[in-house]
Structure 1
Amino acid sequence: MKWLLTALGALTLMAPALAADRSSASAFDAQRLSAEVKTLSSDAFAGRGPNTPGETKAVAYLIAQMQAAGLQPGGALVAGKRTWTQPVPLGRFEITGTPKVALNIDGKAETLTQGKEIAICAAMDGSRTVDVKDAPLVFVGYGVDAPERHWDDYKGVDLKGKIALVLVNDPDYETGQGDFGGKAMTYYGRWTYKYEEAARQGALGMLVIHETGPASYGWATVKNSNTNVQFDIVRDDPAAAHPRLEGWITRDLAVAMFQHAGLDFETLKKQAQTRAFRPVTLKGERFSARYDVAATRITSQNVVGRIEGSRHPNETVIYSAHWDHLGIGAPDAKGDRIYNGAVDNATGTAALIELGRAFAHAPRPQRSVVFLAVTAEEKGLLGSAYYASHPLYPLATTVGVINMDALDPGGRARNFSISGSAMFELLDDLIAVAKQHGLYYSPDPHPEAGYFFRSDHFSFAKRGVPALSFASGDDLVDGGKAAGEAQAAVYTKEHYHQPSDEWQASWSFAGMTHDLGVLYDLGSKLANSRQWPNWPTDSEFRAARDASAAVRR
């Protein structure tokens, strides 16, 4: 998910240079956006967890709002007619009871507390019981096996029956230079990749060592996300993608573990930033864990509205946003257990509804426009991944995807950004349109956080479809960049993936009403042209797009 800006406080006064909006922006109403965010993030929706009563309410609300906005159903075909939803089959996994976890150091067992110094998530490898007894611990650096970069952190180590300890992010994170593109995170830095690689390497389990900087979020976010119910796509061989045990440990625990084994954490971390690194066993230490897992197969829903194109109905522009959040989970210090998800992502969902309304009340576009509200983003981009692998409208003739995740509900900014630092034609189009609205482009200020891989546009990008995730600007009209960065830091530390992400009456939604005019104009430009944006020739996504080029001629 992209870094977040929440302008908490008084309504923003508009600078004279930004006072004139294009006509498209007038289609967006701050009060309506505020009301939709307030409703979606209310306690009545119970955090919008997939496969909960909160999903039932959210899906019903979205359908009603899309219908009232003037959209047509764009979901799965039933008896030859489009419905409002696309069923998404998922595996649901939940730890029953409290995990028993212990670290054995020189024959003495020390109990670890779930959520305190360790956060184990429910097994998704097919196991119904996880029973790890005195497993050896092996530090594998950043856990990367990248032949094209001549990098292998594993060096043939035998991990059968062992727990791998791994650093989060890339080997380049601290130095800002090296074989992984410097500060900007690659997919090798994502914890999802590290678990997948651990499974390929035959590890019994993997524990990611949490550090706030390279993770880009604090321990509270890790705890809340991992000790909650987990979901995954339905896999033929789940053990090929997941080791049996997956979880995180705090940096303090890791430092103590290394020290007990006669190792220095910082020294080994520096070694892990080089190709010469070799795995290190923590001598005299063993890990044990036991817990049961309730696993079921459920069906969640993507919600889909559509406007059919007047001339080229089989060509599609997609706007997307995820409707889900974390549901009900561990209580915070105030006892609040509902993770309301106001910014993340009731804002993007409300934006999707209002963009649909704007298109429905405008002349029909030449190409079709789809408004896709996806499920289970918080569980690993699962709803968008399912759509991308089971598209309702062919990906080869999908012009582009414009994703909205965690928009700023406060005052206006002078700039905008996107998730990630890549340059491509769809971004060029956005930059040109935004300039007409008085906005300048700022590259992702935190490429090391790997936001490109953490939002739903990535599911489309990996299959070649040009896709971006819009991010609100940080150069605020009221306070400039200093205020914007400060607000982002406060949100990430105090509200992101926490029960306190709640609607605020002080939010002006002035920034969203302006920025939605930009996104409307971008989508309208694509939907009323013969343009087919593409990735640069050196992009990892270009080959997948070019493979279907003949369909677009």
Structure 2
Amino acid sequence: MTASYRNTFALSLLLVLSLTLPLLGQPEPAAVSGITSRQIEGHIRFLASDLLEGRDTASEGERLAGSYISNQLSRSGFEPAGDRGDDTTSWFQAFPMFSTTAQLEGCSFDLLQIKGGFQGGDAVQFQVNEDFFVSPRGLESGPNEGSVVFAGHGIVSKDHDIDDYAGIEVENCFVLIFDGNPAGIEVGEGRNRSRAFGMRSRREAAKERGARGLVVIHAPDAEASSFADQMGRSMRSFGRRSLSMGGGGSTTIPTIYLEDSARDQVASVAKLTAESEHGAVGGLTGTFNINIERKEVDAFNVVSLMKGSDPELANEVVVYSAHYDHIGVGSDGLIYNGADDNASGSSGLIEIGEAFGESPRPPRSILILHVSGEEKGLLGSRWFVDHIPLPEQMKIVADINLDMISRNDPTKIGITPSPKHDHWSSLNEAAAAACVKEGLEPTYDVDSYYGRTDSYNFAKVGIPAIFLFAGVHEDYHRTSDESDKVDFNKAATVSRVAFRLGWQVAWAKQPPERKPAEPSGEN
């Protein structure tokens, strides 16, 4: 921890002790001692077992995990608070998904040179995952044909005075572009990197202009081709479903990465890449074929409520959130059990619920929210925030999110937002005090993950939110993220911190509030 953050931590603790501790007769949360490594271990080992097949969103494994979670919380005195029928309320809040599965068989990309120019013929058919790679996510079935037009790097950026589409027409065409970036252009690094230079922005620029697809090649005079990541994504994607939120699913155009050896088979393309001339590639036509199977499915959040004891404050709700989905089974049949990500946080919420069940009921209500769809883009928490299944008079005043809490340094826990962030709130001050009680050092170097977890959807609508996060590791999103690598003591300690934090919020005279960000300085 830098000197700046040590000072921030000390000041925060003083603020907590002097300002936020006046409470409504709050008893000491004795039940916090019941959140133990042994209890946490039992939940993690079940949720991360092969039986649940990786808890993929909208899968049978998700259903089994959700049933286990709701059963545990019902035993702790929580009530179902999901979808409401005429006479009943469910533990589950369904949200619509659209499932698409791309078939490897029949996926092809052909180039036809009307005027000749191929080495050894007038047409070449390229093989998927050998000559070219493509992610099928968001694509439509069927043949897709169009002339080929070269557009440099395919970049449009007002900030850099670049428009690779100036003076060319690409409607109903395949746009051929170089990967990498133009020479001599500063694009930034990491979070400061200009979005216009990312492949997503290049694809969108082509789509906005009516293109049929994007064909990405490597410039011959550039460094060795770096298509390995695209190849891996392509090979993993076929035969596996992808999920999008509701409706017909968002559609896009294909981005086809053409290998160097395939690129060099086309004489006109080889000439083009040498001369870098924008415009139509004389007489060259592309045809892309893919078969996509689509169907509608539902995924489920698990929503558990303990109503507060105060007639008025019970309408103020403290939310604990964690995603319980993971990424399921790979195309090779291997199971991604996600012990740390996020059986750890999900298990922590179960134990936090039990601790509340064994304690005097606080004035404010407690809602424990296990969301699905996090791995697909924070979809479950987005749906919850947009469709809160509570009576109108109930208002969420805080969200405490747990994700990946059981690995790395056992003496530290990452907290975001940091004091430098404009979403910093009094929750963070209270969290620092809770860390001290449990012997953990809070660190504030994980703001780059703030927008990648479910608390972000709460923060976007003005709800004070905090994310407790132990950090990534070499097993992140790998089949090796197994229970035997989990630090159960750390998971229990972080869960006790979260319980203390929510306990304080539930008993405080005033709900949490956003704070002005501290001026930038030494980090």
- Asked if the contact 1:24/1:521 (under 8 Å) is kept, the reply is no
- The residue aligned with 1:457 is 455
Q: Equivalent residues in 2 for 1:197-216 (5 A)?
A: 199-200=207-208, 202-205=210-213
Q: CA deviation at 1:229?
A: 0.9
Rg comparison, structure with higher value:
2
SS at match of 1:501: coil
Per the alignment, do residues 395 and 280 of structure 1 end up closer, same or farther by CA in structure 2, a change over 3 Å counting?
farther
Which residue is 1:349 aligned to? 346
Partner amino acid, structure 1, of 2:316 = E
The SS at the match of 2:314 is strand
Partner residue, 2:495: 516
1:378 partner SS = helix
CA distance, structure 1, for counterparts of residue 216 and residue 401 of structure 2: 29
> 2-side partners of 1:465 and 1:329: how far apart?
36
| Partner in structure 2 of residue 4 of structure 1 | none
Alpha carbons of structure 1 residues 430 and 203: separation in structure 2 relative to 1, 3 Å = farther
- In structure 2, the residue matched to 1:469 is 467
Q: Distance in 2 between matches of 1:431 and 1:114?
A: 50
Is the aligned partner of 1:78 residue 2:81? no
Q: Could you tell me which amino acid in structure 1 is paired with residue 330 of structure 2?
A: G
Deviation, 1:443, is: 3.1
Residue aligning to 2:410: 412
In 2, Cα distance between the equivalents of 1:430 and 1:251?
Answer: 51
Amino acid corresponding to residue 243 of structure 2 in structure 1? F
Structure 2 equivalent of residue 547 of structure 1: none
Select 1:379's aligned residue among 373, 376, 392.
376
Output the TM-score relative to the length of structure 1: 0.69
> Is contact 2:154-2:165 (8 Å) kept?
no
CA gap 1:231/1:25 in 2 versus in 1, 3 angstroms: same
Offset of residue 85 of structure 1: 0.5
- How far apart are residue 86 of structure 1 and its match? 0.6
Closer, same or farther: CA 121–322 of 1 in aligned 2, 3 Å: farther
- 1:363-403 alpha-carbon deviations (Å, 9 max, x no partner): 21222111111122222222122112211136992112222
The gaps in structure 1 that reach 5 residues or longer are 1-21, 269-278, 474-487, 539-553
Deviation at 1:337, TM superposition (A): 2.4
- Out of 498, 501, 506, the residue aligned to residue 478 of structure 2 is 498
Matched residue, 2:24: none
- 1:323 paired to 2:307: no
What's the CA shift for 1:307? 1.0
Moved more, 390-399 or 48-57: 390-399
Secondary structure in 1 matching 2:42: helix
SS in 2 for 1:327: coil
C-alpha distance after superposition, 1:427-458 (max 9, x if no partner): 344334334444344333583xxx33322223
Q: Does 1:309 align with 2:308?
A: yes
Preserved CA contact (<8 Å) 2:174 2:212: yes
Equivalents in 2 of 1:305, 1:91: separation in Å? 26
Whether contact under 8 Å (2:402, 2:468) holds in the other structure is yes
1:305 Cα deviation after fit: 0.9
Q: How does 1:171-182 map to 2 (within 5 A)?
A: none
1:361 equivalent to 2:358? Answer: yes
TM superposition shift of 1:308: 0.9
State the 1:303 CA deviation: 0.9
Distance in 2, matches of 1:220 and 1:345, equals 27
Match of 2:100 among 93, 105, 120: 93
Instruction: State the AA in 1 paired with 2:387.
Output: H
Match of 1:123 in 2: 138
Q: Do residues 534 (structure 1) and 519 (structure 2) align? A: no
Distance change >3 Å, CA 354–CA 535, structure 1 → 2: same
148, 171, 180: which is aligned to 1:160? 171
Q: Partners of 2:305 and 2:466 in 1: how far apart? A: 20
- What residue ranges of structure 2 are gaps of 5+ in the alignment? 1-28, 219-225, 519-523
Deviation at 1:329, TM superposition (A): 2.5
Match of 1:50 in 2: 57
Q: Distance in 2 between matches of 1:436 and 1:174?
A: 47
Tell me if 1:338 matches 2:317: no
Answer yes or no: is the 8 Å Cα contact 1:261–1:282 preserved in 2: no
Cα distance change on mapping 1:439 and 1:502 into 2, 3 Å: closer
Aligned to 1:296: 295
C-alpha spacing 1:430/1:232, structure 2 compared with 1 (3 Å): same
Is 1:403–2:401 an aligned residue pair? yes
The 1-side partners of 2:201 and 2:433 are apart by 35
Q: Matched residues in 1 for 2:262 and 2:394: separation?
A: 47
1:113 aligns with 2:157: no
Q: 1:143 to 1:512 in 2, by over 3 A?
A: farther
Aligned residues: 458
CA distance 1:25–1:409, change in 2 (3 Å): farther
The residue aligned with 1:525 is 504
Q: CA deviation at 1:45?
A: 0.9
- The code of the aligned residue for 1:318 comes to V
Distance 1:224 1:110, change over 3 A: closer
CA RMSD after TM alignment: 4.4
Say if 2:146 and 2:287, in contact at 8 Å, map to a contact too.
Answer: yes
